[in-house]
């Protein structure tokens, strides 16, 4: 038997062990930010919210919506925490369109790109603007590329490329609909990828990959009983394979446990080296050709913007012009990795996002035939024909219902679902304290009514914006956000009595906003506008079979419809 002294020692050791176990468990429990709602059950388990998140993600295939479903939407609050094991700090989820818009547009001194976001893209595109925090170097780089997205440049250079690509797409679909796919639906996603690849590559680099034209020629050969192998793919056709690879690589990494590490490891593979070698080679050949042309020109001729045929031309011409004015030898652009990275990010993002948005547009037209009929009637009145309208006619026309239909497509498709920001200072969001260094997941989808918020909890800039522009979410434009209603964006002009487009009807978050918003927004809007006009005037999109209907989606780099037919 134990004497009293030994028993006391044993009890002391057991008590110490219990205390260590309790303390150790508490150290392993998720960390939490005070004053921000969270799931109490998740706070009491080492794995945090992850056991709740994974089943919802597997059921929906949309990680952003799954996060919102188990945090803000489960708790009924516009802001909440996603809890992780203690090795990682919580992620603050903001699911209120007005507050998200305020953060990205008006609070750039308080929030910047989050390290998690930068880490996703830096391994593959280390010098692109998407992979950088806001610094003087970034501002200088953005200024260099700013005029690439000016209205005048896009109308002169991009619009004709978009119109040509859309016209080729119409030709391809007429051929498909009258032959191999007569009276049967077909997948349009690859066709849209080809068309948008032609647009973005030609606009950025100058050479047309010819992806859609090649598809037309292959189908014509097939109908003529010839072997497709007899056709020689265009020079730029290899770019399509490389773009598909990089999109898939980013999507796979994004669904991994540690996305930045997965992407970093991908850069050591032979497949990644092939991608870099192929794409850089194509771009460098185009650079050398353009640089040779500009080097032979005098300063006066180099000041003429009309000689720019693509975005690369504009940037190269200005660099060579500056060098000649300074009396120095221009640097070799083919060794400028910053320029190569920037061009390739424009290519990848501008190609995949627009292709998915166009898929959503067709899906919506099939689900809302009355809206499709009204849009077609409006377009026929605006462009009576008989020939299809030109690119200049489409971009210059004042057609409020067309603007509304495009904006509503961007809103309901929610192709880009979210963004990550980091607090640069101690601040508040919706009345909750947000410490410096905290990362925020900003939900961009505006497809449901947000929970009510006490106006006093909003920031001064948010309240001032609502006083100036109104809060459409509380009025008629904010009703039935899960449905497609272009007229929510139209108002009656009190002076003329005509309908006009109101860009501020509800928050527009597809492209983010502010200084770190999507660089290619104007190009994407123009591309959707021209494509919509030519497609709606050329085809009637009939309802799909029951098994292909609906708005279900899956999220990769961008949000894609499950059945893009």
Q: Which residues are annotated as a binding site for heme?
A: 518
Alpha helices in 337-390 (DSSP H): 337-367, 369-382
The secondary structure of 14-36 as a DSSP string is HHHHHHHHHHHHHHHSPP--TTS
Ramachandran class of 218: left when φ > 0, alpha when ψ lies in -120 to 50, beta otherwise: alpha
Please check whether residue 549 is in contact with residue 366, taking contact to mean a CB–CB distance below 8 angstroms.
Answer: yes
What's the CA angle centered on 176, arms 174 and 178, to 5 degrees? 65
Which residues make up each annotated binding site?
518
Neighbours of 154 (CB within 10 A): 22
Select from 398, 332, 439, 366 the least CA-distant residue to 115: 439
d(CA 137, CA 6): 70
Which strands sit side by side in the sheet containing 418-423, from one edge to the other?
79-82, 91-94, 439-443, 418-423, 111-113
Residue at token pair 């094991």: 85
Helix, strand, coil percentages in the chain from 3-state DSSP, rounded to 5:
60, 5, 35
3-state secondary structure of 441: strand
Q: Around 252, how many Cα atoms within 13 Å sit in the side-chain half-sphere?
A: 11
Q: Which residue has the tokens 């304290």?
A: 433
Residues near 546 by beta carbon (within 8 Å), at least 6 away in sequence: none
Decide if 212 contacts 196 (C-beta within 8 A).
Answer: no
Distance of alpha carbon 118 from alpha carbon 439, whole angstroms: 12
Cβ 412 vs Cβ 508: under 8 Å: no
Do the strands 418-423 and 559-561 form a parallel or antiparallel pair, or are they unpaired?
unpaired
Instruction: Centre a 10 Å sphere on the Cβ of residue 563 and count the other Cβ atoms it contains.
Output: 18
Q: How many CB atoms lie within 10 A of CB 304?
A: 10
Sort residue 365 into left (φ over 0), alpha (ψ -120 to 50) or beta: alpha
First and final CA of the chain: distance in angstroms? 81
CA distance linking residue 100 with residue 305, whole number of Å? 38
User: What gap in Å lies between CA 499 and CA 155, rounded to an integer?
Assistant: 25
In sequence order, what DSSP letters do the residues of 231-282 get, joined into one string? SPPPTTHHHHHHHHHHHHHHHHHHTSSSHHHHHHHHTTSHHHHHHHHHHHHH
Cα-Cα-Cα-Cα dihedral sign, residues 70, 71, 77, 78: negative
**Which of these, 117, 57, 76, 59, lies nearest to 418 by C-alpha position?**
117
């Amino acid at each position: 038997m134990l004497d009293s002294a030994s028993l006391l020692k044993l009890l002391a050791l057991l008590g110490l062990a219990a205390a260590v176990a309790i303390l150790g468990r508490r150290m392993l429990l998720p960390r939490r930010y005070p004053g921000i709602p969270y799931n109490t059950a998740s706070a009491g388990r080492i794995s945090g919210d992850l056991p709740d998140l994974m089943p919802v993600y597997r059921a929906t295939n949309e990680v952003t919506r799954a996060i919102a479903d188990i945090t803000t939407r489960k708790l009924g609050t516009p802001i909440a925490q996603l809890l992780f094991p203690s090795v990682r700090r919580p992620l603050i989820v903001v699911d209120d369109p007005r507050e998200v818009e305020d953060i990205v547009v008006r609070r750039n001194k308080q929030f910047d790109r989050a390290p998690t976001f930068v880490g996703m893209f830096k391994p593959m595109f280390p010098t692109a603007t998407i992979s950088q925090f806001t610094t003087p170097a970034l501002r200088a780089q953005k200024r260099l590329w700013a005029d690439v997205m000016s209205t005048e440049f896009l109308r002169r250079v991009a619009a004709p490329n978009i119109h040509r690509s859309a016209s080729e797409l119409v030709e391809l679909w007429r051929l498909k609909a009258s032959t191999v796919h007569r009276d049967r639906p077909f997948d349009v996603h690859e066709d849209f990828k080809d068309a948008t690849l032609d647009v973005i590559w030609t606009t950025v680099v100058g050479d047309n990959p010819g992806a859609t034209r090649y598809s037309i020629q292959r189908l014509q050969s097939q109908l003529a009983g010839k072997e497709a192998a007899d056709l020689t793919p265009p020079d730029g056709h290899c770019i399509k394979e490389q773009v598909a690879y990089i999109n898939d690589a980013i999507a796979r990494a994004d669904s991994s446990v540690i996305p930045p590490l997965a992407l970093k490891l991908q850069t050591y593979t032979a497949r990644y080296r092939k991608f870099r070698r192929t794409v850089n080679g194509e771009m460098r050949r185009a650079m050398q050709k353009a640089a040779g042309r500009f080097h032979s020109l005098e300063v006066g001729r180099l000041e003429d913007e009309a000689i720019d045929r693509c975005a690369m031309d504009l940037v190269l011409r200005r660099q060579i012009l500056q060098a000649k004015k300074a009396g120095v030898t221009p640097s070799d652009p083919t060794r400028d990795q910053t320029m190569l990275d920037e061009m390739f990010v424009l290519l990848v993002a501008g190609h995949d996002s627009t292709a998915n948005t166009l898929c959503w547009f067709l899906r919506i037209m099939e689900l809302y035939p009355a809206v499709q009929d009204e849009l077609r009637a409006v377009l026929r009145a605006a462009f009576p024909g008989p020939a299809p309208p030109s690119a200049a006619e489409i971009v210059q026309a004042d057609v409020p219902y067309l603007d509304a239909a495009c904006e509503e497509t961007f809103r309901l498709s929610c192709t880009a679902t979210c963004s990550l920001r980091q607090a640069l200072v101690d601040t508040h969001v919706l009345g909750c304290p947000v410490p410096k260094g905290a990362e925020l997941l900003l939900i961009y989808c505006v497809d449901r009514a947000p929970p009510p918020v006490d106006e006093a909890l909003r920031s001064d800039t948010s309240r001032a914006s609502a006083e100036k522009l109104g809060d459409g979410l509380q009025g008629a434009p904010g009703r039935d956000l899960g449905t497609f209603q272009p007229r929510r964006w139209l108002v009656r002009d009190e002076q003329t009595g005509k309908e006009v487009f109101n860009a501020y009807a509800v928050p527009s978050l597809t492209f983010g906003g502010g200084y770190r918003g999507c660089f290619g927004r104007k190009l994407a809007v123009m591309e959707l506008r021209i494509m919509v006009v030519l497609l709606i005037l050329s085809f009637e999109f009939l309802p799909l079979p029951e098994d292909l209907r609906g708005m279900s989606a899956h999220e990769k780099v961008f949000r894609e419809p499950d059945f893009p037919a």
